[in-house]
C-alpha cells in the first residue's frame, strides 16, 4: 500500500485584519484599531447587511462606531439609507439576498467608496474566483445555501496544504455574523473547498453547527482608488 504523504497546512488572512484578544480588528485612520465582526440577532435574517458592513469596515469605507451607533443621528446618512434598503426585504429573509440586490446596495449606497466584482456559479470556477480575490487581500461576500435556507457570510482567509512546490486549497476561513465573535483568531467558521458527490457538496463548520451547503455566488469588494 502506498503511504499517503501529508503536506504542511498553511493559513493566510487578508490584510489589514489582525488577531487581537478581543477579536479580529483593523486599523482606523491612524487612531488605533477597531473591531470587524458584527453579531446579528438570533431571529433576524440580516446576514447580508451584516456581512456587507464587515466588508466595508475592512475596506475602510465605514467605521465600526458609526455602523453600531445606537441613535440614528449619530449614524452616517448613507449607512442609514443602506439599512433602510435591506429592511425592504423584511427581517426574516430565509433565502438570502440575490446578487443583483447586493449589487444595487453597493452601487447606490457605497458608491465612491468601494469597487466590486461578482460571480454566480456552483462550480470550481467560483472557488477559483474567491481564492484569487483573497490573494489580492479583498474580503469576499459569499452566499451559501442549505437544504431549507440560505446565508450570507464574509470570506477573510484561506487554508491550503503545501507539499514541496505544490499547493492545494483546503478551506475558506469565514467571518459569520450569526456566530459569536472569535477571540483568538480572525474567523469563526470554516468552509471546505473539497467537493463531495451529493446535492450540497461542501461542508461548513462553526462552533455551533455543521452543515452541508452549496456555494451560490460571491462578491469581492475593495477600496476605490
- The per-residue DSSP string of 36-103 comes to ------TT--THHHHHHHHHHHHHTSS-HHHHT-SSGGGS-HHHHHHHHHHHTT-S--SS---HHHHH
Of 85, 129, 126, 87, nearest to 107 (Cα)?
Answer: 85
SS3 label, residue 130: helix
Q: Residues 178-184: what's their mean pLDDT?
A: 91
Cβ proximity of 184 and 37 under 8 Å: no
Q: How confident is the model over 208-221, as pLDDT tens digits?
A: 889 999 999 999 99
Q: Output the CATH code of domain 12-223.
A: 3.90.70
Structural domain boundaries in the chain: 12-223
Q: Residues 118-128: what's their mean pLDDT?
A: 92
CA distance 65 to 220: 23
CA distance 152 to 211: 14
Q: How confident is the model over 20-75, as pLDDT tens digits?
A: 888 999 999 777 899 999 987 644 567 888 899 999 999 999 889 888 875 555 56
| pLDDT value for 203 | 95
Name the pairing type of β-strands 140-145 and 210-223: antiparallel
Set of cell numbers at residue 41 = 440577532
Give Dmax (Cα) for the chain: 69
Cβ proximity of 17 and 155 under 8 Å: no
Amino acid at each position: 500500500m502506498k503511504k499517503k504523504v501529508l503536506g504542511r497546512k498553511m493559513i493566510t488572512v487578508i490584510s489589514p485584519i489582525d488577531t487581537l484578544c478581543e477579536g479580529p480588528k483593523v486599523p482606523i485612520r491612524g487612531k488605533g484599531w477597531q473591531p470587524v465582526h458584527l453579531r446579528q440577532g438570533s431571529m433576524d435574517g440580516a446576514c447580508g447587511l451584516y456581512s456587507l458592513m464587515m466588508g466595508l469596515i475592512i475596506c475602510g469605507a465605514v467605521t465600526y462606531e458609526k455602523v453600531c451607533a445606537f441613535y440614528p443621528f449619530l449614524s452616517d446618512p448613507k449607512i442609514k439609507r443602506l439599512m433602510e434598503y435591506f429592511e425592504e426585504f423584511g427581517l426574516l429573509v430565509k433565502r438570502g439576498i440575490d446578487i443583483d440586490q447586493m449589487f444595487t446596495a453597493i452601487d447606490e449606497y457605497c458608491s465612491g467608496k468601494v469597487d466590486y466584482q461578482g460571480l454566480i456559479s456552483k462550480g470550481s470556477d467560483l472557488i477559483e474566483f474567491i481564492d484569487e480575490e483573497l490573494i489580492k487581500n479583498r474580503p469576499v461576500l459569499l452566499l451559501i445555501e442549505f437544504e431549507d435556507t440560505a446565508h450570507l457570510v464574509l470570506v477573510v482567509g484561506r487554508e491550503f496544504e503545501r507539499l514541496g512546490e505544490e499547493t492545494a486549497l483546503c478551506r475558506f476561513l469565514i467571518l459569520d455574523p450569526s456566530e459569536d465573535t472569535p477571540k483568538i483568531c480572525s474567523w469563526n467558521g470554516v468552509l471546505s473547498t473539497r467537493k463531495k458527490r451529493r446535492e450540497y457538496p461542501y461542508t461548513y463548520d462553526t462552533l455551533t453547527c455543521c452543515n452541508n451547503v452549496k456555494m451560490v455566488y460571491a462578491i469581492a469588494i475593495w477600496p476605490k482608488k
